[in-house]
């Protein structure tokens, strides 16, 4: 399972980690490199990947995630989920 977190928020990442379990991945997208770096320092988990981007234009391929947590544009959520939300 792959969960996308839009916005570098500790609580959202913890929620996503609970969803994916031990074999899943969490991708965090945020426009601020500084916020991503701070989150990476606080959450040094090998299941978490960090990308610069926004919820308006998510830098992931179509159908690449199973769940979206956070404020993403509806069309982008549908695209990366590969299904209607």
Which pLDDT value is given to residue 83?
76
Q: Considering the entire predicted model, what is its pTM?
A: 0.93
Q: What pLDDT does 30 receive?
A: 97
- Architecture, CATH, for domain 2-81: 3-Layer(aba) Sandwich (3.40)
H/E run at residue 67: strand 67-70
* C-alpha–C-alpha distance, residues 9 and 54, integer Å: 13
pLDDT of residue 84: 63
Q: What is the mean pLDDT of residues 3-22?
A: 96
Q: pLDDT tens, 15-74?
A: 999 999 999 999 999 999 999 999 999 998 999 999 999 999 999 999 999 999 998 999
pLDDT value, residue 85: 55
How is the chain split into domains, by residue range? 2-81
State phi, psi for 47 to the nearest 5 degrees. -85, -5
Identify the CA nearest to 14 among candidates 53, 59, 47, 55. Answer: 47
């Amino acid at each position: 399972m792959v969960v996308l977190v839009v916005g570098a928020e500790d609580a959202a990442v913890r929620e996503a980690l609970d969803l994916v379990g031990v074999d899943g991945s969490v991708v965090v997208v945020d426009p601020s490199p500084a916020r991503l770096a701070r989150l990476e320092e606080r959450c040094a988990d090998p299941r978490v990947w960090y990308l610069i981007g926004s919820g308006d234009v998510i830098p992931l391929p179509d159908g690449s995630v199973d769940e979206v947590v956070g404020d993403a544009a509806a069309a982008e959520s549908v695209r990366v989920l590969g299904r209607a939300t």
